[in-house]
Structure 1
């Protein structure tokens, strides 16, 4: 199973306060444990929402909303993609994570859909297209690191 681990933003991360050298070192050690255990597939920090945008959909209309966004508790400061045997394994790893923020913080764990989760609606043709696109992305990443 794959999981997206979402590090929730706080007012410091939204203000652009960068992590300390100590926190970066602690996270580096934690990430190394994840990689050595075969758990971590990807992980990145995100710039504050003031540097982002949202696109609101209403039928055929699209409306762009520039950041920053008001509800800090709903924003994401970073993420990982992990491969774990279960939700409990992902929880156990998160509990070992250094606190990613200066004060209290939250990390959310969400399972990623796999092709078999979609049932019959995910036809063989759609599965073939999905696999072709994944392979294309992998090739592009290898060619343009």
Structure 2
């Protein structure tokens, strides 16, 4: 069985990361990622861009309504995701509008997934992850 571990934070939590040491964060996450890799359970691990860059496609009306920014109601829970390789946010929005099985009460949040190339390449754990991705055909 596959599971996604979704990391969420309050506004206070995000604020605490503003002055965090990136190398320390990468090392901490890198050690955890190494454990997952050694256990043979890691299929994919990605962070998401800031929610301020989100686009939401609301399927409550026809045609679906597109708005900037994440939805904020806590009763709207994450139910799954697709990762698409598209050329732009607008192309991702077009795919989301066409997603089957959507209707009233469904929204699709769209966020860019930063690539490994956007992290400090001299970091040991970024280098290990890059090697793992290359070895498993994910890069």
TM bin (shorter chain): 0.3 to 0.5
Q: Which has the larger radius of gyration?
A: 1
TM-score by structure 1 length?
0.43
Tell me: higher relative CO, structure 1 or 2? Use CA pairs within 8 A at least 6 residues apart. Answer: 1
TM-score by structure 2 length?
0.45
